[in-house]
Amino acid sequence: MTENPTQALADFVTAARLADLPEQSRERAKITLIDTIASALMGIGDPEVARIEKLALSVAPTGNSPVVGGKPLGNGAAILLNGYLINAATVCDVHQPTMCHTTPAAFPPALAIGVERKVSGADFLLAFALGVEIAIRVGVGSNYPAFRANGWHSPGVWGPFGSAAASGKLLGLDSARMRNAFGLAGSQSGGTFAAWGTPTVKFHQSRGSLSGYLAANLADAGFQSSATVLTAADGGLYRACSDGGQPELALDGMGDRWEFENLSLSVHPLATVLAGAAIALVDAANTAGAGSGDVRRVKLSLGWRAFGMHAEMQWPDPFHARLSARYVAAVAVADRACGPDQFTTTRIADPDLGRYARQNVEVVRDDSLGESGSAVELAFADGQVASAGGVVPPGAPSAPLSLDDVRAKFLAAAERVQMDDWAPKALARLERIEEAAEIDGDLVGSQP
């Protein structure tokens, strides 16, 4: 490959215009934007958010940068806090081929700079879409199986590039400075699966968002950085993280095909690879008219990587409960649901549910299911057995969420945090965001 992907990506971002996105792509960008804010609303009140807020207040306690559902802060603080809010409830986007959450990187700096510079809704939407697109594309070029085998966590490594793209676009960086922004973003990349099972995996995302913002602003000031941060023979990220990667894939179809259309969105606040199994369990229990008292045994089979990540996870708090295969299986059968109410502190502490999860749920590894497939089996008290493969969850690329779907998610999330008076007006503005002369904090319910 002779083309330098770092420079090519920079050229693409600086030249892009909203008109370059086909109508279908613009619609998907808006759906993803609304879903992002809905996900952040769902994160309000999460126990870990208070700790991130304490950090944010130590970084930039005063300013006019909007915080979703909260009071404005300085840019750096708002970016950290919004980045964590988006993924706090485990219900934001994921690009499945690279297992990268992209919106927590792209949205916070686009909002901060957009409000600060009073940009139009069209420019804001474009910057957001470009940020998500670049985070995906640099990840695609990494050869994900090798990247994952080396222990890297995509949002912390590739997220800063998405943030730098969104930030740099709104700062008006030229191609050379955008390339420097990517070099600076790559110099701040980091985050491994050593953090799995702790909230640090989510901090990778908010920290990555701030890193890209810093990178773009430093590049805007004329700071120089690597021109080949992705492919340099000595320390290029593709070589360092994934045995050289497949750099040509980062540029494949760029401008003709928008990779963010392949994002998976979610309506279930739990680990992505458990969502299909949870839906299958709810469907099976509903079909049988059964609650946990009627189900003698639940068997959840998981592919080898999903088993390693989720089979032994305990559920002392909402964060871990969303990642615990045993808890998810138990609560899906007991409640015939797997929404926000199933991951409250009160619900996960229920002794009867805990006992059922430990005594009646079996989680097994099944290599025939690949990395992350799933299958379920329910044995009923009357001797009958029901089984099913994990279904395709709503929001997967083959079953994308519609505008009506994300409207419902947005309104339900706003109602849970008592923002239902604000939500319909904000939603109407977001659905026509490209027509807005100027964006402001009221789009995300942020008030002084």
Q: CA 163 to CA 86: how far, in whole Å? A: 14
Q: CA 325 to CA 312: how far, in whole Å? A: 8
196 and 78 fall within a common domain: yes
List C-alpha distances in Å: 116 to 113, 178, 333, 439: 5, 20, 48, 9
130: helix, coil or strand?
A: helix
**Sheet strands (E) in 309-366:** 361-365
Task: Tell me whether residue 325 is in a domain.
Answer: yes
Task: Tell me whether residue 194 is in a domain.
Answer: yes
List C-alpha distances in Å: 381 to 179, 213, 297, 386: 63, 57, 9, 12
Task: Tell me whether residue 394 is in a domain.
Answer: no
226 and 298 fall within a common domain: no
**pLDDT tens string 115-137:** 999 999 999 999 999 999 999 99
The answer to whether the beta carbons of residues 313 and 187 sit under 8 Å apart is: no
231 and 282 fall within a common domain: no
331 and 211 fall within a common domain: no
Q: What is the pLDDT of residue 383?
A: 86
Q: CA 76 to CA 283: how far, in whole Å? A: 44
Q: What is the pLDDT of residue 196?
A: 94
Task: Tell me whether residue 236 is in a domain.
Answer: yes
37 and 99 fall within a common domain: yes
298: helix, coil or strand?
A: strand
Q: What is the pLDDT of residue 447?
A: 83
Closest CA to 340 of 134, 17, 88: 88
Low-confidence residues of the chain: pLDDT under 70: 1-2, 290-292
Q: What is the pLDDT of residue 291?
A: 66
Task: Tell me whether residue 419 is in a domain.
Answer: yes
Split into its structural domains, the chain has a count of: 2
149 CB neighbour count, 10 Å cutoff: 11
CATH number at residue 338: 3.30.1330.120
Q: What is the pLDDT of residue 2?
A: 63
246 and 354 fall within a common domain: no
Closest CA to 162 of 115, 219, 104, 123: 104
Q: What is the pLDDT of residue 284?
A: 86
249 and 155 fall within a common domain: yes
Q: CA 136 to CA 250: how far, in whole Å? A: 8
245 and 325 fall within a common domain: no
Q: What is the pLDDT of residue 388?
A: 86
The answer to whether the beta carbons of residues 84 and 49 sit under 8 Å apart is: yes
What is the extent of the structural domain holding 298? 272-389
Q: What is the pLDDT of residue 143?
A: 92
**Sheet strands (E) in 85-241:** none
Beta bridge partners of 377: 299, 387
